[in-house]
């Protein structure tokens, strides 16, 4: 899978540009539905990644791109659930996450990518 953080607020995956956060589940790309996590915004100062979202747990590794500057928080419950499922969490700024995705087989990619801060 080829992924590139093109500019603040935009990502390109397999030749398609997205101007919103995305979730990749076994190569299938969809818009991140972060409404459920917005209830935690005041606590974190930013909408975090929470278990209330439909996270792509289908693989052995979940890559989380935390934005251009790495500001998207990941709630402790996500870490706990990953440990329970024996899924490796890889949390890093989105540009680095995209580099990690590049070259992987689509079916092996499970990721949440934040495209702004």
Q: What is the pLDDT of residue 77?
A: 98
* Rounded Cα gap, residues 11 and 75, in angstroms: 23
Average confidence score pLDDT of the chain: 96
Range of the domain at 109: 3-113
CATH number of the domain to which 35 belongs: 3.40.1230.10
For residue 89, CA distances in Å to 6, 31, 101 come to 24, 20, 14
| Rounded-to-5 percentages of helix, strand, coil across the chain | 25, 30, 45
> What tens digit of pLDDT does each residue of 7-64 get?
999 999 999 999 999 999 999 999 999 999 999 999 999 999 999 999 999 999 999 9
**Number of domains the chain contains:** 1
**Whole-number pLDDT of residue 57:** 97
Give dist(CA 40, CA 38) in Å, integer.
5
Q: What is the pTM of this model?
A: 0.95
């Amino acid at each position: 899978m080829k992924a590139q953080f093109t500019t603040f607020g935009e990502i390109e995956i397999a030749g398609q540009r997205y101007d919103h956060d995305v979730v990749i589940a076994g190569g299938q790309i969809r818009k991140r539905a972060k409404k459920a996590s917005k209830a935690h915004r005041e606590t974190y100062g930013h909408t975090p990644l929470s278990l209330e979202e439909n996270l792509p747990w289908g693989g052995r590794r979940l890559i989380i791109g935390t934005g251009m500057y790495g500001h998207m928080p990941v709630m402790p419950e996500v870490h706990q659930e990953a440990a329970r499922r024996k899924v490796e969490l890889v949390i890093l700024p989105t540009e680095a996450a995209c580099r990690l995705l590049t070259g992987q087989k689509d079916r092996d990619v499970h990721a949440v990518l934040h495209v702004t801060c």
